[in-house]
Each structure stands twice: as structure tokens, then as C-alpha cells.
Structure 1
């Protein structure tokens, strides 16, 4: 029964951590961006550099779930005060492992796109690679802006 609880908790953790990160590519929008005016600039891609976008490290899902699973596993060891110590150590270790799993599971492939705008200004925008498609030097693109946030799209 305990193995079933641990397996279910880990499965839910991985699913939630994968869903928790909003897409960081040019065609994804947060709810707060919908209906908001954006500036539009046009330009040409000068260079594209592959980058890695770090995974989430807020630990809400990963370390929380890991701590629960680790605590349950630690509670199965020994008896008396030894069991209490094992539960605490298991919870701490599980939290750390869960946080690392969450970070790894939410890491994304990105691209730094350097663009020469039609105005002559050169900018660089980092965003997630969508469906394995990198921008290519020479391509014409739109740069959408809202506040300090920019997105590159076709």
C-alpha cells in the first residue's frame, strides 16, 4: 500500500511540474497579457544562439512532494526515536531530491535571437524554442512588446 502511495505521489508531482511552467516561446501568452495592447516592430534576424532556459526552482511541487514521499519512506525505518529521526531525514532528503527533479523536468531549450529592427536598432531576445524550430539569420520577424517583455514571431 505504501509503495502505491509513493508511486502515485511521484507521478502526480512529475505531471504537475511539467504543466506548471508557462511556455516561453513567441506564441504563448499569460492570461494577464490577453487583450493588452502591444507595440509591433519589424526587423531581420542577424544571429541565433541556442541557450538553455533554467527550470523552476520555486520548489512548490518538487520539494513539497519529495518531502512527503521522503517522510513516508523514512517513517518505514526503525522504531521509536529512530523512526522519528528517519522520518525527518527522509523528508529533508526527499525535498532536496524533489527540487532537483522539478528543476530538471522544467528546463527548456531556448534561443537568443539577435534582430536588426527596421529602425536600425539591434536587440536580442531570449525565448523558448517552439516545436524544434529555430529562427534563421535573414528571416523577417515581428517583435511584439508589452512593458519590458518582448516576443519574436513571424
Structure 2
């Protein structure tokens, strides 16, 4: 009986750790969010006028973290079922199912609504930049800044 309680506690603890890990995977691609590495870096600024704005969906990430976390949790949950050979089979089945579920959960948690913003730069060239939707409001005809750093572009009012 004590063994089941310990496993249940372990599974609950692992679920908490997994939710923290998956939440930490979600990083924003909004125009007003910068990574720590981008801070204090010189950026090229160009001015432009918005020609069109289209809503888009930004896919969720597919890293090993969701699948690995799910596999560990599924294996732990499966190990609490049955005894002997049945327990081993349940552990393996739980790990496989958990890995698939963890991968799907990571993708769902990290997908986002975005905008494809087409701008005409002052030199006449046209660019389309996709970024995550944020509280920033954009409208066609608006003058904006196009900021570039290491191949990453963002549009800001």
C-alpha cells in the first residue's frame, strides 16, 4: 500500500514539473517581446507604411521536451498498474501514449495567433513580416518602424 502511495505522489510531482516545463517552452514572437540575447544589441531601424494586414496562425513548437516529459509521466503512471509482466507492459504503453500526448500538448500550448504585416519601406521595397499578435494595434496606412537584428524582423508602431 505504501508503494502505491509513493508512486502516486511521484506521478503528481512529475505532473507539476511537466506543466512548469511545458509552460516555459512557450516563447513569444510578438513584435514587442525581446529575448534576453536580443537585449542591448544594436538594431537596424527602417521606416515604412503598412499596406496590408492578414491574420495568420503560427504553429506550435515540436521539440523533444513535450514528448520526453509525456513519456516519463506516462511510464510512471503505467508503472502503477498491475504486477509482473502486466506492469511492464503497462509501463511501456504508458510511456508511448504519454510521449504522443506530451508532443501534442506542447504543440497546442505553443501555437499562437499572428499577423502578416506587409509594409512598403521608404526606399520603395515591400516586405511581409509575420509576428505574434499582441496588444499593439496596427492599421493599413499607418507609419511604422521595421526593426532588424540578425535576420529577425519586427514591426512596431
TM-score (norm 2): 0.87
Is residue 121 of structure 1 aligned with residue 90 of structure 2?
Answer: no
Cα distance, 1:54 vs. partner? 1.0
Cα distance, 1:90 vs. partner? 0.7
Instruction: Tell me the C-alpha RMSD between the 2 structures.
Output: 1.7
Unaligned runs of 5+ in 2: none
- The 2-side partners of 1:35 and 1:94 are apart by 41
Output one character per residue of 1:17-48: Cα deviation in whole Å (capped at 9) or x when no partner. 22322211111112222222111100111111
Unaligned runs of 5+ in 1: none
Task: Determine the structure 1 residue equivalent to 2:41.
Answer: 36
Is residue 136 of structure 1 aligned with residue 121 of structure 2?
Answer: no
Q: 1:73 to 1:5 in 2, by over 3 A?
A: same
Secondary structure of 1:14's match?
Answer: helix
Q: 1:135 to 1:4 in 2, by over 3 A?
A: farther
- The 2-side partners of 1:104 and 1:54 are apart by 9
Q: CA contact under 8 A between 2:56 and 2:115: conserved in structure 1? A: yes
Cα distance, 1:136 vs. partner? 1.3
Secondary structure of 1:99's match?
Answer: helix
Q: CA contact under 8 A between 2:26 and 2:109: conserved in structure 1? A: no
Cα distance, 1:4 vs. partner? 4.5
Moved over 4 A (4+): none
Task: Determine the structure 1 residue equivalent to 2:72.
Answer: 68
- The 2-side partners of 1:16 and 1:119 are apart by 45
